[in-house]
C-alpha cells in the first residue's frame, strides 16, 4: 500500500477540539471534504456536520481529505475509506467534483453508482453543490442531501442505522423530504418536473438552541488559523442577480445575539480569536454590540465579508480594536447603471464614502471584488472599474499620507458564471475573446496605479465552472476523463461540441435542474 506523504498524527497533535467525539460508537460515518485538510477544515459547514454526527448517540464521524497518495485514510483512526458503509461528501465548490472522483478511485470504490455492489459504500453528497444542481453528479452519487445538515442528519443516520442494505436505505430516503436519489427519482430521466423538497433552516430554527453552527476543532492549519468561527446568519437582504447564496438560502434570517455570545464561552478554553461568518455578516441587527462584547471579553475578532451599506464607524472601530487592518468590499461593477442591472443599487458615491470611512478608521488594506462578463456590459463599464479603483486610491492617499502610511488596494476580478437558481441562470457566459480584451485592459490600467494590484480569474476555469454547474448526467464521461488526469485545455478542446452549447448559448424553455423546491 502506498504511504501518505505526511502524518495525520502530526495534524491531530495541532487540533484543539471543542466538541464531542464518540470513539467507540456502534456506527461510524466517513465524512469527506474533496480538497485538502487546510481547505476542508476552513469550512464551517464541514465542521458543523462533523460536530452533529459526533453529537448523535451511537454515532462517530471520521474525516477524510485529499492529502496524501494511495488509499485515503481517516484522520481519526487511519481507517480506509472503502471500509465504511456510508461515505458522505460535503462539497461547496464545483471544481472539487474531480477530486471527489479521484478519491473514490484511490479508495477502490466504483465511480458509477450503477456499478456498485451490495458491499460497496453508499456515496452521499451534501453541501451547497447538492442543492444548486445535483444532476451533474447524478451518475456517481447514490443519495443527494438537499438542505441544512440539522434537518437532514436525523433521517439520514436513522436510515443508515436501521436498514440492512444500501438498496433499503436508498428506497427509504427516496420517500423522505430533503433527498434526491437518482436510482429512484427519474422524472423524465432527470429533465422532468417532479419537485423534490429542500430543507434549509427556518427563521424559527435560527433562534433555537443547538442550531448555531460553530467550529468544532480549532487548528492553526486552516485559512483562519486558530480562529473559532461562528455563523451569524443565513441568506442575504440583497438579491444580486448572479448570487446563488441569496436565491438558494432563502430569505435573510439571523441567530440571536445571546447564542452567538454564549458560544464564545466554549471557545475561550482553546483560542482568543473569533471569526464571525455569514453571507451578510454586517447585516446582523446587533453586529456592533456583538463585536464590542467579543472585544471586551478579550477576543480578537474578524468578519468574513461585509456589504457596502453595512459598513459603519462602529463596526470598523470594533474590528480595528481587534487588530484588523484589512477590509473587503464587493462593488462588483464600476458603473452605477450596470450595478442597478445586477440588482445591487448602491451608487459609487456611497462606496467612496465608505472607503473614506475605512481609511479614516485606520485600515490600511482594501480589497475590492468585481465581476466582468455581465449581460449588457460594455468596454466603458470596464473603464469604470479602473476609474473606481483610481478614486479609491486617491481617497486612500488623502487619508493615509498625512499619517505617513502607505496603503494597498487589491482588485479581484471574477468572471460571471451564470448558476442555476439565480436571476441570471438562463444567461450565457461571455465570449472568451471579449473577456480577454477586458482583462488585458484592466491589467494595463491597474499597472499604472501605484499600490494597486489586480488578480483575474482564468477564462478557462470560468468555462469549466459554467459547464459543470449547468450540466446533467451526460457530463459523466467528461468528469471521468478529468479525474483520469486529462488537462483542462485538452478537455475543453476534445468535448467542445458538448461543452460550448451549454456554456455559450442562452438557455430558453425548461431548465432541467429546476426540480428542487424550497422546503
Ligand atoms: S450582497 Fe453578496 S451575498 Fe448578498 S445577494 Fe449580493 S452577492 Fe449575494
Q: What is the pLDDT of residues 92-148, one digit of tens each?
A: 999 999 999 999 999 999 999 999 999 999 999 999 999 899 999 999 999 999 999
**Cα 279 to averaged position of ligand 1 atoms, centre (Å):** 7
Percentage above 90 pLDDT, the chain: 86
Identify the three-state secondary structure at position 261. helix
Q: Which atom of ligand 1 is nearest to the CA of 242?
A: 7
Q: How confident is the model at residue 191 (pLDDT cuts 50, 70, 90)?
A: low
Q: Which atom of ligand 1 is nearest to the CA of 343?
A: 6
Q: Which atom of ligand 1 is nearest to the CA of 246?
A: 5
**Cα 421 to averaged position of ligand 1 atoms, centre (Å):** 14
- Looking at residue 62, its pLDDT comes to 97
Identify the three-state secondary structure at position 511. coil
The closest residue, in CA terms, to atom 6 on ligand 1 is 240
- Looking at residue 190, its pLDDT comes to 59
- pLDDT tens-digit series, residues 368-419: 999 999 999 999 999 999 999 999 999 999 999 999 999 999 999 999 999 9
Which position has the grid cell 480549532? 218
**Cα 175 to averaged position of ligand 1 atoms, centre (Å):** 34
Distance of CA 438 to the CA centre of its chain: 27
How far apart are the C-alpha atoms of 351 and 343, rounded to whole Å? 16
pLDDT at position 13 over 50 = yes
- Looking at residue 2, its pLDDT comes to 46
**Cα 340 to averaged position of ligand 1 atoms, centre (Å):** 13
**Cα 422 to averaged position of ligand 1 atoms, centre (Å):** 11
Q: How confident is the model at residue 314 (pLDDT cuts 50, 70, 90)?
A: very high
Strands (E), 394-451: 408-415
- Looking at residue 7, its pLDDT comes to 85
Q: Which atom of ligand 1 is nearest to the CA of 239?
A: 5
The closest residue, in CA terms, to atom 1 on ligand 1 is 238
**Cα 123 to averaged position of ligand 1 atoms, centre (Å):** 32
- Looking at residue 21, its pLDDT comes to 67
How far apart are the C-alpha atoms of 473 and 138, rounded to whole Å? 6
How far apart are the C-alpha atoms of 325 and 366, rounded to whole Å? 9
**Cα 23 to averaged position of ligand 1 atoms, centre (Å):** 40
- pLDDT tens-digit series, residues 419-454: 999 999 999 999 999 999 999 999 999 999 999 999
Q: Which atom of ligand 1 is nearest to the CA of 245?
A: 8
Q: How many CA atoms lie within 13 A of 177 on its CB side?
A: 9
How far apart are the C-alpha atoms of 218 and 220, rounded to whole Å? 7
- Residue 393 backbone dihedrals phi, psi, to 5 degrees: -65, -40
pLDDT at position 494 over 90 = yes
Q: How many CA atoms lie within 13 A of 304 on its CB side?
A: 20
Q: How confident is the model at residue 491 (pLDDT cuts 50, 70, 90)?
A: very high
pLDDT at position 22 over 70 = no
Q: How confident is the model at residue 266 (pLDDT cuts 50, 70, 90)?
A: confident
C-alpha cell at 405: 502610511
Over residues 78-100, the mean pLDDT reads 97
Q: Report yes or no: 245 and 304 within 8 Å, Cβ to Cβ.
A: no
**Cα 72 to averaged position of ligand 1 atoms, centre (Å):** 36
Q: How confident is the model at residue 305 (pLDDT cuts 50, 70, 90)?
A: confident
- pLDDT tens-digit series, residues 46-56: 999 999 999 99
Q: Report in angstroms the alpha-carbon separations of 78 from 49, 60, 75, 399.
A: 20, 14, 6, 54
- Looking at residue 514, its pLDDT comes to 84
SS (H, E, C) 92-138: CCHHHHHHHHHHHHHHCCCCCHHHCCCCCCEEEEECHHHHHCHHHHC
- Looking at residue 34, its pLDDT comes to 98
Pocket lining for ligand 1, CB < 6 angstroms: 236, 238-240, 243, 245-246, 279-280, 307, 344
How far apart are the C-alpha atoms of 52 and 434, rounded to whole Å? 47
**Cα 380 to averaged position of ligand 1 atoms, centre (Å):** 24
Q: Which atom of ligand 1 is nearest to the CA of 279?
A: 3
The closest residue, in CA terms, to atom 8 on ligand 1 is 243
How far apart are the C-alpha atoms of 91 and 178, rounded to whole Å? 17
The closest residue, in CA terms, to atom 3 on ligand 1 is 279
Q: How confident is the model at residue 23 (pLDDT cuts 50, 70, 90)?
A: low
- Looking at residue 1, its pLDDT comes to 43
CB atoms < 10 A from the CB of 304, how many?
18
- Looking at residue 3, its pLDDT comes to 47
Q: What is the full DSSP assignment across 280-348?
A: TGGGSTTHHHHHHHHHHTT-EEEES---GGG--HHHHHHHHHTT--EEEEEEE-SSHHHHHHTT----H
Q: Which atom of ligand 1 is nearest to the CA of 280?
A: 3
Amino acid at each position: 500500500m502506498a504511504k501518505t506523504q505526511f502524518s495525520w498524527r502530526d495534524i491531530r497533535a495541532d487540533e484543539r477540539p471543542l466538541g464531542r467525539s464518540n470513539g467507540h460508537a456502534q456506527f461510524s460515518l466517513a465524512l469527506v471534504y474533496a480538497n485538502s485538510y487546510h481547505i476542508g477544515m476552513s469550512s464551517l459547514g464541514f465542521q458543523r456536520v462533523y460536530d452533529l454526527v459526533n453529537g448523535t448517540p451511537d454515532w462517530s464521524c471520521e474525516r477524510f481529505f485529499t492529502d496524501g497518495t494511495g488509499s485515503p485514510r481517516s484522520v481519526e483512526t487511519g481507517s480506509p475509506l472503502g471500509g465504511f458503509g456510508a461515505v458522505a461528501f460535503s462539497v461547496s465548490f464545483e471544481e472539487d467534483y474531480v477530486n471527489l472522483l479521484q478519491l473514490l478511485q484511490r479508495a477502490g470504490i466504483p465511480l458509477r453508482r450503477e456499478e456498485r455492489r451490495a458491499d460497496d459504500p453508499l456515496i452521499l453528497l451534501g453541501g451547497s453543490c447538492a442543492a444548486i444542481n445535483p444532476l451533474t453528479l447524478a451518475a456517481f452519487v447514490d443519495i443527494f442531501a438537499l438542505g441544512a445538515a440539522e434537518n437532514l442528519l436525523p433521517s439520514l443516520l436513522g436510515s443508515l442505522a436501521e436498514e440492512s442494505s444500501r438498496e433499503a436505505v436508498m428506497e427509504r430516503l427516496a420517500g423522505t423530504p430533503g433527498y434526491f436519489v437518482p436510482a429512484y427519482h427519474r422524472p423524465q430521466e432527470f429533465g422532468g418536473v417532479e419537485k423534490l423538497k429542500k430543507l434549509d433552516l427556518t427563521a424559527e430554527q435560527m433562534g433555537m438552541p443547538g442550531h448555531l453552527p460553530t467550529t468544532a476543532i480549532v487548528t492553526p492549519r486552516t485559512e483562519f488559523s486558530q480562529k473559532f468561527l461562528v455563523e451569524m446568519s443565513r441568506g442575504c437582504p440583497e438579491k444580486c442577480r448572479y448570487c446563488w447564496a441569496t436565491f438558494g438560502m432563502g430569505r435573510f434570517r439571523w441567530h440571536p445575539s445571546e447564542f452567538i455570545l454564549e458560544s464564545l464561552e466554549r471557545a475561550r478554553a482553546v483560542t482568543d480569536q473569533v471569526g464571525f461568518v455569514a453571507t451578510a455578516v454586517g447585516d446582523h441587527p446587533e453586529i456592533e454590540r456583538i463585536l464590542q462584547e467579543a472585544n471586551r471579553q478579550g477576543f480578537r475578532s474578524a468578519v468574513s465579508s461585509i456589504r457596502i451599506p453595512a459598513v459603519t464607524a462602529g463596526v470598523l472601530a470594533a474590528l480595528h480594536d481587534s487588530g484588523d487592518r484589512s477590509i473587503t468590499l464587493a462593488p462588483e461593477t464600476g458603473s452605477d447603471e450596470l450595478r442597478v442591472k445586477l440588482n445591487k443599487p448602491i451608487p459609487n458615491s456611497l462606496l467612496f464614502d465608505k472607503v473614506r470611512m475605512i481609511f479614516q478608521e485606520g485600515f490600511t488594506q482594501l480589497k475590492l471584488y468585481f465581476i466582468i462578463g455581465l449581460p449588457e456590459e460594455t468596454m466603458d463599464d470596464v473603464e469604470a472599474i479602473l476609474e473606481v479603483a483610481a478614486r479609491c486610491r486617491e481617497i486612500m492617499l488623502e487619508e493615509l499620507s498625512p499619517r505617513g502610511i502607505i496603503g494597498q488596494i487589491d482588485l479581484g476580478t471574477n468572471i460571471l458564471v451564470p448558476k442555476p437558481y439565480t436571476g441570471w441562470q438562463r444567461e450565457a457566459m461571455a465570449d472568451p475573446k471579449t473577456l480577454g480584451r477586458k482583462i488585458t485592459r484592466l491589467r494595463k490600467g491597474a499597472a499604472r496605479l501605484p499600490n494597486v494590484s489586480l488578480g483575474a480569474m482564468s477564462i478557462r476555469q470560468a468555462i469549466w465552472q459554467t459547464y459543470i454547474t449547468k450540466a446533467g448526467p451526460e457530463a459523466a464521461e467528461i468528469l471521468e476523463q478529468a479525474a483520469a488526469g486529462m488537462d483542462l485545455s485538452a478537455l475543453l478542446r476534445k468535448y467542445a461540441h458538448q461543452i460550448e452549447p451549454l456554456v455559450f448559448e442562452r438557455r430558453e424553455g425548461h431548465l432541467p435542474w429546476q426540480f428542487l423546491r424550497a422546503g
